[in-house]
């Protein structure tokens, strides 16, 4: 199966409600969808969301990297040569992890199609049914309570609450949400780098002392401050997860060797795709660190790939944070992975199994 061409499309999905973290407010998913055509009429799909603030990758930069640098390397290549191809893609340019991820995902999709097996099967198998948490945006306390209760009523058993704006107010917000949901869901916090190490320790201790049991606290301190994260991890009972601190494989080595976090959040877009995410999973497993599989605000193309990974690497992936498709007003991606609020299930179609993407706007070559 040889690759004959690379096409791109733009996929925009408005969100049900604006997504608010300490750093930004977003009201729509904006993906570049990559399609790799083959000589036997198949299409491999991948995608990358514009998320300049997190990955540095803008819509235009993703498109330019795919069309001008990464895509041309693949024309004429044999899909069966997956590892060599992803190596070529990773080595072709610095940074641009989202564009690399989109291509890497599309190559894995084709590899699964080539072998007639769903992607998770190619990655090692597993139970193709997982549950995700849902994000509760930073907002006024009453709004956060209402959102949390509504999410529990929709069947979510784990909530990821955005904090990190004001450590004192954050403690009040979390206590209020905890009281309102009364043990009906696990609570995860994501501070998105918003606290200092000392603020983080104080806030987490206050919550622990108040009897608020947290499943984990994600990225309490700045991405670069691995020493600060280790300081927090050493001083609290609650599990600490590294997200923004993990952008490269060497970041993972540093975090796990310094025991700076108990959990590593794997996101395909920041790491450069499935091939790199698999290495992170292996590294974490070597060091006895658990993984969470997360996503950006992105469509169900990239999130599907992450779901396949979570299923196949359940040996080390203990938490799934793939709520982006259910934050959209609709899911335009038809195929093999069903995102039904908390429940994500994968069927047996080969590769990613995407059959149609509604509203995909073709981008002229």
Residues of this chain that interact with Mg ion (CB under 5 A) are: 190, 218, 243
Smallest distance from the beta carbon of 136 to Mg ion, in angstroms? 13
Smallest distance from the beta carbon of 207 to Mg ion, in angstroms? 18
- The CA distance from 108 to 87, in Å, is 13
The residues, ordered by sequence, that sit 6+ positions from 183 with a Cβ below 8 Å of its Cβ are: none
Smallest distance from the beta carbon of 55 to Mg ion, in angstroms? 12
Helix (H) or strand (E) holding 343, with range, is: strand 343-346
CB of 31 or CB of 218, closer to Mg ion: 218
Residue ranges of alpha helices (H) inside 39-140 are 52-55, 59-64, 82-91, 97-115, 119-122
Query: 162, 165, 175, 198: which one is catalytic?
Result: 162
100 is a catalytic site residue = no
Question: Which residue in the shown chain puts its C-beta closest to Mg ion?
Answer: 243
Smallest distance from the beta carbon of 139 to Mg ion, in angstroms? 17
CB of 61 or CB of 189, closer to Mg ion: 189
Query: 20, 100, 165, 267: which one is catalytic?
Result: 267
Burial of 286 (0-12, 13-18, 19+ CB in 10 A): exposed
CB of 110 or CB of 217, closer to Mg ion: 217
Helix (H) or strand (E) holding 178, with range, is: helix 167-181
CB of 112 or CB of 228, closer to Mg ion: 228
- Residue 229: phi, psi to the nearest 5? -70, -40
162 is a catalytic site residue = yes
- The CA distance from 224 to 244, in Å, is 8
Smallest distance from the beta carbon of 103 to Mg ion, in angstroms? 24
With H, G, I as helix, E, B as strand and everything else as coil, classify residue 333: strand
Closest residue by Cα to residue 241 from 127, 305, 184, 321: 321
- The CA distance from 282 to 292, in Å, is 13
CB of 242 or CB of 314, closer to Mg ion: 242
Residues annotated as catalytic (active site), given as ranges: 162, 267
């Amino acid at each position: 199966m040889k690759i004959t061409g690379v096409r791109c499309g733009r996929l925009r999905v408005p969100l049900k409600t604006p997504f608010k973290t300490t750093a930004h407010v977003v009201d729509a998913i904006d993906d570049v969808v990559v399609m790799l055509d083959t000589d036997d009429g198949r299409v491999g799909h991948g995608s990358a969301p514009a998320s300049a603030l997190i990955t540095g990758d803008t819509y235009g930069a993703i498109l330019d990297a795919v069309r001008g640098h990464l895509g041309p390397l693949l024309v004429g290549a044999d899909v069966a040569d997956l590892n060599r191809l992803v190596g070529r893609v990773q080595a072709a340019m610095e940074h641009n992890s989202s564009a690399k991820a989109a291509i890497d995902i599309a190559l894995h999709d084709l590899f699964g199609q080539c072998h007639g097996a769903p992607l998770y099967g190619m990655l090692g198998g597993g139970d193709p049914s997982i549950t995700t948490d849902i994000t509760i945006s930073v907002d006024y306390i009453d709004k956060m309570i209402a959102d949390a209760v509504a999410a529990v009523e929709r069947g979510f058993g784990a909530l990821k609450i955005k904090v990190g704006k004001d450590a004192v107010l954050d403690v009040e917000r979390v206590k209020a949400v905890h009281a309102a949901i009364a043990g009906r869901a696990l609570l995860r916090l994501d501070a998105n780098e918003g606290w200092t190490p000392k603020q983080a320790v104080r806030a987490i201790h206050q919550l622990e002392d108040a009897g608020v049991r947290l499943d984990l606290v994600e990225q309490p301190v700045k991405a670069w401050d691995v020493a600060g994260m280790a300081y927090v991890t050493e001083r609290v009972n609650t599990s600490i997860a590294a997200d923004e601190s993990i952008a490269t494989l060497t970041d993972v080595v540093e975090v796990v060797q310094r025991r700076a976090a108990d959990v590593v959040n794997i996101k395909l877009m920041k790491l450069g795709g499935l091939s790199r995410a698999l290495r992170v999973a292996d590294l974490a497993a070597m060091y006895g660190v658990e993984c969470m599989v997360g996503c950006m605000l992105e469509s169900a193309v990239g999130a599907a790939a992450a779901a396949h990974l979570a299923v196949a690497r359940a040996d080390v992936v203990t938490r799934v944070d793939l709520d982006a498709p259910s934050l959209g007003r609709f899911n335009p991606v038809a195929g093999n992975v069903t995102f039904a609020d908390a429940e994500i299930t994968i069927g047996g179609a080969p590769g990613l199994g995407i059959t149609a993407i509604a509203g995909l706007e073709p981008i002229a070559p």
